Amino acid sequence: MNVNYPDKKPLAFLPTPLEKLDRLSKHLGGPDIYMKRDDQTGLATGGNKTRKLEFLVADALVQGCDHLITTGAPQSNHCRQTAAAAAHFGLGCSLVLRGEPQSQMQGNLLLDKLLGAHLYWTGDRPRHEVIAEVANEHRVMGHKPYIIPLGGSNVMGAASYVLAMQELMSQLTAASINIDFIVFASSSGGTHAGIVLGAEAYGFRGQILGISVDHPAEDLQMQVSALATATATHLGISNVSIANRVEVNDDYLGDGYAMVGDTEREAIQMVAQLEGILLDPVYTGRAMGGLIDLIRWGAFTRGQSVLFWHTGGAAALPAFVDKLL
């Protein structure tokens, strides 16, 4: 299928590895588990947002912008990667972070500062108001800001995961691997939308399951479907069926976003000690915890193959020491 991708600026180390997790698979006694290692994209400890930023930064530069503004939680992986992308291309960067200033600069917050980002805090104000103020402040200073949405999740960001599915399909074909399910953490919806659309564009016939880390399933399904549809239009992809492919499981929301419980703790320790791979407490730890639980309940069985798409985030681990040990 012909896909009209926008221009992009190289940032990621691609293709990222495709790895079989033999010890984890044996330990759980269920399906063969593979991992797509987007924690290895390379930009300031890597992560899935690096793929998105290749397209987003290219768009910013085409528009003549010189300052990136984005938003997220205090330990946002997206914000950290945006700060790194800005540094790489000599752009300014402002991060609008949720809540009040933190007492300790740990994890991604520390990296944000090392990368030269300016930090702004929303307090109890709406995020969009603070973003607008920051953008106006930089316009007054003579800059041309480029605002990147939460998680980099717009049609430009989602396009990167359509392309990532082409990369994955090439790897699976070369290794003669058949995958029955792709599982990953889903939140702002851009990665999820791109994977679903890419599956249609490049012929992946297995099931795709996003494990929500913060939204009710129905809300996230609508969000992902809308973004996938808009991305298809943006990329000139037609005659694809999207709605029926957007699956979301919201059984693992626990006590809320970034609230670490037994599910996340067990998953992080299990994968670290069996495979030497680090997950994060907010996204991949929760999604892997969900996958482990689903395997135990028989949702995935022997003879099947499941691919877990690792979206990064281990840089946040030091900020959760008291929750993990």
Where in the sequence numbering do the catalytic residues fall? 76
Residue spans of beta strands (DSSP E) within 17-142: 18-20, 32-37, 67-72, 92-97, 118-121
Across the chain, which distance is largest between two alpha carbons, in Å?
61
DSSP secondary structure letter of residue 166: H
> How far, in whole angstroms, is CA 68 from its chain's centroid?
19
Q: Which residue has the tokens 């929750």?
A: 323
Closest CA to 7 of 43, 60, 44, 48: 60
What's the N-to-C CA distance of the chain in angstroms?
48
Decide: 210 and 248 in contact? Cβ < 8 Å. yes
Decide: 324 and 281 in contact? Cβ < 8 Å. yes
Q: What is the DSSP string of 199-247?
A: HHHHT--SEEEEEESSS-HHHHHHHHHHHHHHHHHHHT--S---GGG-E
Phi/psi of residue 211, nearest 5 degrees = -95, 115
Phi/psi of residue 140, nearest 5 degrees = -60, -35
